Structure 1
């Protein structure tokens, strides 16, 4: 049956002619088992399985959703053939772009080079494993027909889609804005894909931060007010906040925290692209260390631009009932009482925190990714969503552990002027005071609610991200 399917679809014809149309008609007729003139998800899934054609989980649903123009839940022949034609065109363009030496075949070195161009460095052995998952005849090279056969009934259009599984994205929003920015291919930059992806990420971050805002406020509250002599537990802290301002007070500071996502994302992405161009040689590839440097500089640039909003977020999160009427009133009072410099209190420890966070986050993620590829990537390079979420969560958590003391110092410096009788001290003096009075673990006050919000934040942001991407018409 598999050979019959190959005869139907995987012909040598590269254009839409009578022979191609007959092939599509024959395949459509086989898939349309109930003969109602359309192929639904169940028929497509069952038909492809019976023919021995491999496809990813959820691929049948994505094919029908993307091809179903009249939204009747199935593909008629016109929709079916249009989907296959358009999909095949994309596959052809991508195959040509990856075929660096124009010999009509892809080898492991070309796959390795394509991965490197997108900032993913893998070993020759790992590249061969990816190639092996596509190679049909065992030649350890992939020709056009093998490439088309592997991807035609998968929504993934190219090897970049495999890479995109592994791209360490800031989509997993855990409330910290120190991650390496999203990276897009040249093809994506020339289409509307990149800005839709950024919008989906911003929306995911907004919902995620709102959902975990009470834990975020508790973290700030404990960072500033908790000490050896004034121990604040989770339950006691929440009771104290609710008693002072009601249940809605748990979301204080969330408005500005959400508002700063869009400008920060836009600035970070734009700056990242410029820094990459500056750091790489003319027409050269961006190496991993250059990507890290460019990402750190982009993060620093974005943080510098939106830092006043970071200060306002801390002040609003710590405010007492009636202290400020809103964000604008908060900004006016800070400016009037403390001057412009107040909007950059804690700026230095914040900038210093970018390096350990981004560096460790990226290093741990790369190590986990390479470990998975080495051990499990035998038949496929697709790790599955649980592996990706696990790698992202662990690497981000390690990054937070490394940078948390600096984050605590930053928050205390931001809050100093708003605390009655608080001495205005420098970063180094504050650091020494905490170590002297509270010990090493005093630098980790509030880390429990910070860790508690990681898993729900990652889960919420991923779900919202996927739904938003679907609504905007983009998919992996």
Structure 2
């Protein structure tokens, strides 16, 4: 394998067109003078070269200047030249002691800039995934060989997918915000990632909206009968037709953009408060800054949360859209009605985000410790699994607060007076429905997690390719 890589990298990095042509011809399976995604996949596989998921699509997207979905010889050569320049810059920036080699300690320091703290043992395993000669260091040739046909340009990209990201959208807005490097901010990559994540969230929430509405209905009407998932969906269709299954989803999607923007801005401000000049956030500081940013964002968009709940539990014809809902609430209940349930909602951020982050870090470290012998790449299934489990655990911890929040948001339109406080509602639910009453609606909530995570991940990856990330 190493000899194949060495031969290929020598061909790619030699300045003569003959060497580039030799490599191009190997990949041009049908000999039409162009390389498409399928040929790139087949050619790299035939040469014994493993690349990351979606790497071929990103290579073609990066080099395809005339946008015909293929790479001709000129585009292919230009891509390799540009890619090698990026690899050289990344290698030099990592090689802090300028000895021409990258060591485990340098990998650890680099990952700290992403807010990722790993042990020396983990850094050794990441290093071994690139170390072809067994010296426990990576020189320029090994670095170039490893990344020759990998769109990742630096060591950060190897574990960037391990960064706990909000891209895995499950419909809740309590996660720790994304963190971006200075390079991403300078190049504008951050807004492309936020846009991709927002689009992924919109598609994911729309796809799972019927289950989300059913969850809200069960939370609010929990004590009235033993509605299960099938009968609940049937009742909603009977009352308002198929379209009623998506009632409230419009607000749920619209609030993604302002909430994401506010969370990102607030997170950057709180980070400055917790770090000195040039300092980096540890896990604890990141959790505190992220929780505060989440609380700030939730405060700014909370009226939309209330409207989403009111629309979800409303009967057909009760409201004529989001603005009519807002108008009726303001007229009948006043401005403060838009912040009903605010306290349990804010309190729910701490257990959700804390447990979500802690479980994710634990699962990540366990995988790296046990399985990262040849590569630090966890693969899509491991990534989705860790994100799903950690999010589910976070939901379990915060669900009673989420249920009380939803009841408080809806009680004026459903239960009428008297309007109970958070403590009053808690006592009422436990007295009438028992402790399990605090978990009404959790079945459809859990049922939507896996499809929501899967949809958001697929859409996010497709959007990244389209935006050239």
Tell me, yes or no, whether TM beats 0.5: yes
Q: Which residue of 1 aligns with 2:248?
A: 253
- Cα pair distance change 1:330/1:130, threshold 3 Å: same
- Is 2:211 aligned against 1:215? yes
Q: For residue 166 of structure 1, give the secondary structure of its aligned residue in structure 2.
A: coil
Tell me by how many angstroms 1:32 deviates. 3.9
1:187 aligns to 2:183 (yes or no): yes
**How many pairs align?**
469
1:95 to partner: Cα distance: 1.4
Distance 1:129 1:205, change over 3 A: same
* Whole-angstrom CA distance in 2 between matches of 1:58 and 1:387: 16
Q: Quick one: distance in 2 between partners of 1:410 and 1:116? A: 37
Using the TM superposition, give the Cα deviation of residue 336 of structure 1 relative to its aligned residue in structure 2, in angstroms. Answer: 1.3
Cα deviation for residue 237 of structure 1 reads 2.0
Compared with structure 1, are the counterparts of its residues 326 and 31 closer, same or farther at alpha carbon in structure 2 (3 Å cutoff)? closer
Kept in 2, the 8 Å contact 1:2–1:51? The answer is: no
CA distance in 1, matches of 2:267, 2:373: 34
Q: Deviation of residue 249 (structure 1)?
A: 1.2
- 1:473 CA drift (Å): 2.0
Structure 1, unmatched stretches of 5+, are none
Structure 1 CA distance, aligned partners of 2:211 and 2:12? 59
Higher mean displacement: 313-322 or 68-77: 68-77
Conserved? CA contact 1:312–1:327, under 8 Å: yes
Matched, 1:149 2:159: no
Deviation at residue 48 of structure 1 after TM alignment: 4.1
Structure 2 equivalent of residue 105 of structure 1: 101
**Structure 1 position 242 matched with structure 2 position 265:** no
Matching residue of 2:272: 277
Alpha-carbon separation, structure 2, partners of 1:459 and 1:51: 31
Q: How does 1:385-396 map to 2 (within 5 A)?
A: 385-396=380-391
Partner of residue 56 from structure 1, selected from 52, 57, 82: 52
Contact 1:2 1:53 in 2 (8 A): no
1:126-145 pair list within 5 angstroms: 126-145=122-141
Aligned to 1:305: 300
Map of 1:158 onto structure 2: 154
Q: How far does the alpha carbon of each residue in 1:13-33 deviate from its partner, in whole angstroms, 9 at most, with x for none?
A: 7xxxx8454432343344445
Comparing 427-436 with 352-361, greater Cα deviation is found at 427-436
How far does residue 181 in structure 1 lie from its aligned partner after superposition? Answer: 0.9
2:331 matches 1:320:
no
- 8 Å contact from structure 2 (residues 104, 123) kept in 1: yes
How has the CA–CA distance of structure 1 residues 78 and 319 changed in structure 2, closer, same or farther, with 3 Å as cutoff?
A: same
Q: Which residue of 2 aligns with 1:6?
A: 6
Cα distance in structure 1, aligned partners of 2:172 and 2:138: 42
Structure 1 equivalent of residue 66 of structure 2: 70
1:108 and 1:141 in contact (8 A); partners too: yes
Cα deviation digits, residues 161-214 of structure 1 (max 9, x gap): 112111111111111000011111111111121111111111111111111111
Q: Following the alignment from structure 1 to structure 2, what is the Cα–Cα distance between the partners of residues 460 and 88?
A: 34
Which residue is 1:168 aligned to? 164
- Preserved CA contact (<8 Å) 2:399 2:438: yes
Question: Which stretch of the first structure deviates more once superposed, 304-313 or 324-333?
Answer: 324-333
Distance in 2 (alpha carbons) for counterparts of 1:209 and 1:5: 43
Residue 350 in structure 1 maps to residue 365 in structure 2:
no
- Of 424, 435, 440, the residue aligned with 2:435 is 440
Q: Is the 8 A contact 1:413 1:427 kept in 2?
A: yes
Instruction: Flag the 1:223–1:76 CA change in 2: closer, same or farther, 3 A.
Output: same
Q: Structure 2 length normalisation: TM-score?
A: 0.95
* Farther off after superposition, 255-264 or 143-152: 143-152
Offset at residue 38 of structure 1 (A): 3.0
1:118 and 2:114 are equivalent in the alignment: yes
Q: CA RMSD in A?
A: 2.1
CA contact (8 A) 2:58 2:465 kept: no
Question: How far has the Cα of 1:322 moved from its partner?
Answer: 1.9
Q: Quick one: distance in 2 between partners of 1:8 and 1:172?
A: 36
237, 259, 263: which one pairs with 1:264?
259
Structure 1 distance, partners of 2:432, 2:105, is: 57
Match of 1:224 among 217, 220, 223: 220
Question: Hey, what does 1:291 align to over in structure 2?
Answer: 286
Structure 2 alignment gaps of length 5 or more: none
